[in-house]
Amino acid sequence: MSRRSTGLAIEADGLTKSFGDTLALSGMDLRVPAGTVYGLLGPNGAGKTTAVRVLATLLRPDGGRARVFGHDVVEQADAVRARVSLTGQYASVDEDLTGLENLMLLGRLLGHRKPAARERAERLLAAFGLTEAADRQVKKYSGGMRRRIDIAASILNTPDLLFLDEPTTGLDPRSRNQVWEIVRAVVAHGTTVLLTTQYLDEADQLAGRIAVVDHGRVIAEGTPGELKSSVGSGTVHVRLRDPGQRPEAERLLRAALGVPVQLEPDPVALTARVGGDGSDLDASEQAARALGDLSRAGVVVDDFSLGQPSLDEVFLALTDHPAVAADERDDELEAAR
Amino acid sequence: MSNATTTTGRAPSVYVPSAEALSTVLAPGARPPRPSALSASLTFGWRALLKIKHVPEQLFDVTAFPIIMVLMFTYLFGGALADSPRDYLQFFLPGIMVTSVVMITMYTGVGLNTDIEKGVFDRFRTLSVWRPAALVGMIFGDVLRYVLAALVILGVGLVLGFRPDGGVLGVLAGIGLLVVFSFAFSWVWTFFGLILRSEKSVMGVSMMVLFPLTFLSNVFVDPGTMPGWLQAFVKVNPITHLVASVRSAMAGASDPSNTMWMLLWSAGFVVVFGALTMYRYNRR
């Protein structure tokens, strides 16, 4: 079995799954290249979690096929399980046990003898900054520590494919950065990561390719750059000191950015969408150039900002409807019983 | 919510992921062979023991509850049904032992339901191990609780004056039969633990099954005094076969017919409910 796989880690064709009346997957196709981070981006209820659960062999699809490293997720589930691991949205370690016990338990279930399982558990705890918390019950961990022990448990055997279901939802910015660093290290060692997220900036930071998911289907796919340029990569906000300079500022911005400039109700404010014109420059370069033009023309800028397009903006642009949130897992649990 | 070390008394040190440290744990080593079915089940049994260690309150139901049952029924019925509580105890103790232990088998279902609710079973189900291992291991842990409950009841009984004619061996044989049956019967609850919505509904269903099963039997009184239609039920009730076998083992005798029926019932529970449980477990 080759540890660094080439080719496709995941191939899914027309996956469908419904829970009662709720159609969670409505013909999902995916091609995930091995050795990369692949982002599934979408709001709650879009079908991301269901897709991950089908690919991780936890749910049987109603229709369609999926293969993980060439193994069918239904017919050859055990071969798939030997190569993947899952960090779910909810605790995927035993909260009553300590961090060390959890990792030893999994180590033994992966076939390590007790001393080896202990040694590996201790090294993982050290690498994840949890040595001090090794003998504490996981239910007493903070949110960030809990996420780290979850991920540590998932990489005990360095899986070929790691599913991370909304790994940073509910984390503070520092913990979120720690998770991102870990994900980068995991991928650098040849593990493929399928990441679900609601945040465009997270997908942008980590993923080589992104699939935008809505109503159980992939509605757009590409590199973060491709997706953003299809939407416009951001919004420039400018506030002037002197409202009298606004007409000139509008003219200069339109010339520099090549897009229509909106005059806000506030007499000193202007906004413009940038990066959507297929120009070679990215949004920040365009914005910097525009700002330089303003300053050279003697227009005094009090405040300036460049915002990333939000997931809502991407959604609006791709679907003409805003990202509607529904609680996917609850629907699923309801219907699964 | 997630300051890395707020709960330690020391100055908080912020965790900075180091690519180097992560490299050492990520370097793919040789993968060990898949653990055997027994080894995986025992590992899950170890998990159950660790849970008892961390949450010892959960032993309340296998200690306090049986003591209350013995004391309550011995003194409530003893004078009325036999000459004295002490005489009644000779008849009643094996029965109440069976009742108590069979009643606590339902916690297997409750525990499973809670585990699933919390999400930890998602991880177990993505492991490449023998599929029933997580459940078998869970029941292994529960068997320990059954033994503990049986010993507690035996202890209370001995203090109150229970004197089994079968001696140590007879008593051990009786407890052995009870544990075999309870292991098998636990599979009924793993099934309900998987199909029911909440731990409350698991409790509700199990009470509805367990009360008639344990009371409409030969546990409390000789079935000879019951109306015919009830005797018919009592006669086929697996609890009746179990109590009769345990009673005769503890009395130093043997009851091959009831023991055979009780073992057949046990095999039936494992085959039918074990299969149903695994069917649900794989398809959830």
Interchain CB contact of A139 with B (< 8 Å): no
**According to the model, what pLDDT value does residue A272 have?**
83
Token pair 């509850």 in the structure block, residue: B65
For residue B33, the chain A residues in CB contact (below 8 A) are 111
Q: Which of A71-75, B122-126, B194-198 has the highest mean pLDDT?
A: A71-75
pLDDT tens column, B211-268: 999 999 988 888 888 898 999 999 999 999 999 999 999 999 889 999 999 999 999 9
How high is the pLDDT of residue A1? 41
- Name which residue leads in pLDDT, A332 or A43: A43
CA gap A286, A274 in Å, rounded: 8
pLDDT of residue B244: 95
Q: Write down the pLDDT at residue B74.
A: 87
The rounded distance, in Å, linking the Cα atoms of B39 and A110 is 11
pLDDT at A5 over 60: no
* Minimum distance, in Å, between the CA of residue B103 and any CA atom of chain A: 24
DSSP conformation class of A156 = T
Instruction: Find the farthest-apart pair of alpha carbons in chain B and give their distance in angstroms, rounded.
Output: 79
Report the distance separating Cα A129 and Cα B63, nearest Å.
40
Contact A85 B126 (CB under 8 A): yes
Copy the structure tokens of residue B284: 């959830």
Q: Does A221 touch chain B (CB under 8 A)?
A: no
More confident residue, B177 or B11: B177
Q: Pick from A86, A90, A144: which is nearest to B126 by CB?
A: A86
Rounded Cα distance, B131 and A56, in Å: 15
- Which helix H or strand E contains A144, and what residues bound it? helix A143-154
What average pLDDT does chain B have? 88
- Nearest CA among A90, A173, A73 for reference residue A138: A90
The residue of A59, A94, A128 whose CB has the most chain B CBs within 10 angstroms, and thus the best one to mutate to test that interface, is A94
Dihedrals phi, psi of B236, to nearest 5 degrees? -95, -10
Tokens representing A228? Answer: 């953003």
Residues 6+ apart with CB under 8 A from A177: none
Q: State which residue of chain A sits closest to B134, comparing Cα positions.
A: A109
Mean local confidence (pLDDT), A20-49: 92
Q: What angle do CA B74, B79, B85 make, to 5 degrees?
A: 40
- Read off the tokens for A104: 């030893």
With cut-offs at 50, 70 and 90, classify the pLDDT of residue B41.
very high
According to the model, what pLDDT value does residue A326 have? 47
CB B262 within 8 A of CB B245: yes
Between B99 and A2, name the one with better pLDDT.
Answer: B99
Domain boundaries, chain A: 8-229, 234-307
Provide the CA A195 distance to its chain's centre, in angstroms. Answer: 5
Q: Which stretches within B120-237 are classed as H helix?
A: 120-125, 133-160, 167-195, 199-215, 228-236
Rounded Cα distance between B154 and B163, Å, is 10
Residue A218 has which token pair?
Answer: 């992939």
A296-335 confidence digits (pLDDT tens): 989 999 988 887 666 666 777 777 665 555 444 444 444 4
Is residue A278's pLDDT more than 70? no
pTM for the full predicted model: 0.81
Q: What is the mean pLDDT of residues A153-168?
A: 92
Written out in words, the top-level CATH class of the domain with range A8-229 is alpha beta
Residues 6+ apart with CB under 8 A from B15: A128, A129, A144, A148, A178, B4, B5
**B65: nearest Cα among B99, B113, B114:** B99
If one compares A208 and B222, the residue with the highest pLDDT of the two is A208
| Interface contact A182, partner B, CB < 8 A | yes
Q: Please give the residue of chain B at the shortest CA–CA distance from A160.
A: B28
For residue B120, give the nearest of A94, A172, A336 by CB distance: A94
Cβ contacts of B281 within 8 Å, gap of 6 or more: B125, B131, B132, B135, B194
- Contacts for B76 with CB less than 8 Å, ≥ 6 apart: none
Select from A105, A171, A185 the Cβ nearest to the Cβ of B17: A185
Cβ pair B119:A88 closer than 8 A: yes
Nearest residue to A337 (alpha-carbon basis) of A17, A11, A15, A19: A19
**Cα dihedral across residues B115, B117, B118, B120: positive or negative:** positive
pLDDT at B221: 83
Order of all β-strands in the sheet with A192-197: A84-87, A161-165, A192-197, A37-41, A209-214, A217-222
Q: Compute the mean pLDDT over every residue in chain A, rounded to the nearest whole number.
A: 86
Identity of the residue in A111, A171, A175 whose CB atom sits nearest the CB atom of B34:
A111
Give the confidence band of B85 by pLDDT, cuts at 50, 70, 90: confident
Taking only the tens place, the pLDDT of each residue in B128-157 is 999 999 999 999 999 999 999 999 999 999
CA distance B88 to B85: 5
CATH hierarchy code of domain A234-307: 3.30.70.2470
Contact B122 A92 (CB under 8 A): yes
Digit-coded pLDDT (tens) for B2-39: 444 444 444 456 788 887 788 878 876 777 888 999 99
| Chain A nearest C-alpha distance from B210 (Å) | 23
> Which residue is it, tokens 């062979």?
B33
Least confident of A13-17, A89-93, A142-146, B39-43: A89-93
Distance CA B268, CA B265 (A): 5
d(CA A88, CA A333): 14
